């Protein structure tokens, strides 16, 4: 296992110590490193809390900051944060306007966020919950996993909250972004969970896995690596088959590197994706390329499209400032 670390069992906490040491804009609540919060509370603003396992930076905690989220429950590598952590973060970041829980559609996360919501309810803290479920190849819409497309939900909710929208308005902004976002991902190599020390799956030399999840969940086919243009074409067929986009409509495109894939390759893929969209008469704006939801040192990428209107564009244009992500 070729990783820069001290002890596998301290991977998550050592990472957190580094983040807190580097960035004074964030802090932790309840004397627990894993209760990650913004240091800047805005009275009267809807708070937004996310959470999930370690190993996906900047997902999840990297989205905590101005114009985005207020707190993040940090689990161990690929593990859910606990209900108690979410509850402690809730008490810390709640600012009088309620809390939106916004996270990926995974069973453990749902269970713990729901339990935290019940604990908040007993304290008269109002919560609403919404999950990201954008990974088209992971199943029927109601069971889909949340992957990089949650970026659009964070961005919409964060902007609406910063504009001092109500809890329901923030929820609706995130839901609208989620309803319009679809993702397809694929892996070229596995990654290694530090405490396990060996890859969670294997791929042959020259083999890729289409549709693989960010924890190594099996995809829809394994086979020889396709060219960037072929991957772009198959992925867009899947995306547009699931969510039709008419000629003349506009989409945002997010090309997300899973970890080991170079930014150079991400842009090669981006060029092919944009070419195909333009050839169909679909307009593009707000093109994002880089690491938004990773799987440590997995090689591969995902392609997300989000259908835009003026409302969603205004959310994307809203400034953002976190230790990991700046947009202005």
Our finding on whether 265 is near a second copy (CB under 8 A) is yes
31, 142, 198, 206: which one binds a second copy (CB under 8 A): 206
Whether cis (ω within 30° of 0) applies to the bond prior to 169 is no
C-beta of 101: minimal distance to a second copy in Å? Answer: 24
Helical (H) or strand (E) element with 2: none
**Strand pairing category for 71-77 and 326-327:** unpaired
Q: Which is nearer to a second copy, 83 or 253 (CB)?
A: 253
Binding mask 213-242 for a second copy (x = CB under 8 A): ------------x-xxx-x-----------
Our finding on whether 291 is near a second copy (CB under 8 A) is yes
| 215 carries an active-site annotation | yes
Our finding on whether 321 is near a second copy (CB under 8 A) is yes
9, 168, 275, 317: which one binds a second copy (CB under 8 A): 275
Place of tokens 């947009």: 327
- Structure-token pair, residue 105: 């559609």
- What are the helix (H) ranges across the chain? 11-22, 83-93, 107-122, 150-162, 167-179, 228-242, 263-279, 310-317
Q: Which is nearer to a second copy, 14 or 169 (CB)?
A: 14
Our finding on whether 299 is near a second copy (CB under 8 A) is yes
Site for a second copy in 23-62 (CB under 8 A): 23, 54-55, 57-58
Our finding on whether 11 is near a second copy (CB under 8 A) is yes
Q: What span, in angstroms and rounded, lies between the C-alpha atoms of 219 and 211? A: 4
Q: How many residues bind a second copy (CB under 8 A)?
A: 60
Site stretch for a second copy (CB under 8 A), options 104-112, 117-125, 133-141, 290-298: 290-298
In this structure, what is the dihedral angle of CA atoms 23, 27, 33, 36, given to the nearest 10 degrees? -100
Residue 164, phi-psi category: left (phi > 0), alpha (psi -120 to 50), beta (remainder): left
Our finding on whether 3 is near a second copy (CB under 8 A) is yes
Of residues 105, 27, 115, 107, the one with CA closest to residue 72: 27
Binding mask 90-119 for a second copy (x = CB under 8 A): ------------------------------
**Which residue(s) pair with 328 in the sheet?**
none
| 56 carries an active-site annotation | yes
Sheet containing 283-290, strands listed edge to edge, beginning at the edge strand earlier in sequence: 221-224, 207-210, 181-187, 300-307, 250-257, 283-290
Cβ atoms of 165 and 211 within 8 Å: the answer is: no
Q: Which is nearer to a second copy, 91 or 313 (CB)?
A: 313
Task: Please identify every residue annotated as catalytic.
Answer: 56, 215
Interface with a second copy (CB under 8 A): 2-6, 11, 14-19, 21-23, 54-55, 57-58, 188-189, 205-206, 208, 225, 227-229, 231, 253, 259-272, 274-275, 287, 289-291, 294, 296-297, 299, 301, 321, 324, 326-328
């Amino acid at each position: 296992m070729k990783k820069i670390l001290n002890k596998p069992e301290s991977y998550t906490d050592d990472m957190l110590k580094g983040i807190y040491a580097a960035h004074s804009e964030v802090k932790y609540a309840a004397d627990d490193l894993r209760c990650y919060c913004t240091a800047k509370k805005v009275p009267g603003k809807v708070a937004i809390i996310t959470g999930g396992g370690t190993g996906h930076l900047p997902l999840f905690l990297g989205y905590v900051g101005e114009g985005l989220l207020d707190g993040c429950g940090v689990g161990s590598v690929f593990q859910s944060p606990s209900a108690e952590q979410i509850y402690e973060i809730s008490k810390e970041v709640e600012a009088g306007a309620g809390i939106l829980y916004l996270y990926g559609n995974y069973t453990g996360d749902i269970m713990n966020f729901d339990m935290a919501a019940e604990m908040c309810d007993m304290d008269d803290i109002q919560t609403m919950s919404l999950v990201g479920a954008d990974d088209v190849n992971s199943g029927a819409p109601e069971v889909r996993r949340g992957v990089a497309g949650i970026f659009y939900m964070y961005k919409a909710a964060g902007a609406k909250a910063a504009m001092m929208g109500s809890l329901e308005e923030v929820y609706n902004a995130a839901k609208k972004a989620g309803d319009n976002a679809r993702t397809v991902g694929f892996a070229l190599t596995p990654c290694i969970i530090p405490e396990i020390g060996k890859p969670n799956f294997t791929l042959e030399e020259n083999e890729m896995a289409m549709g693989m999840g960010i924890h190594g969940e099996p995809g829809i086919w394994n086979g020889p690596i396709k060219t960037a243009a072929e991957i772009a074409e198959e992925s867009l067929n899947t995306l547009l088959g699931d969510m039709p986009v008419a000629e003349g409509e506009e989409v945002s495109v997010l090309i997300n590197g899973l970890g080991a894939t170079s930014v150079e390759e991400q842009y090669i893929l981006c060029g092919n994706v944009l070419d195909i969209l333009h050839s169909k008469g679909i307009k593009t704006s707000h093109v994002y390329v880089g690491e938004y939801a990773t799987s440590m040192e997995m090689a591969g990428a995902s392609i997300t499209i989000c259908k835009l209107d003026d409302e969603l564009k205004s959310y994307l244009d809203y400034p953002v400032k976190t230790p990991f992500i700046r947009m202005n």
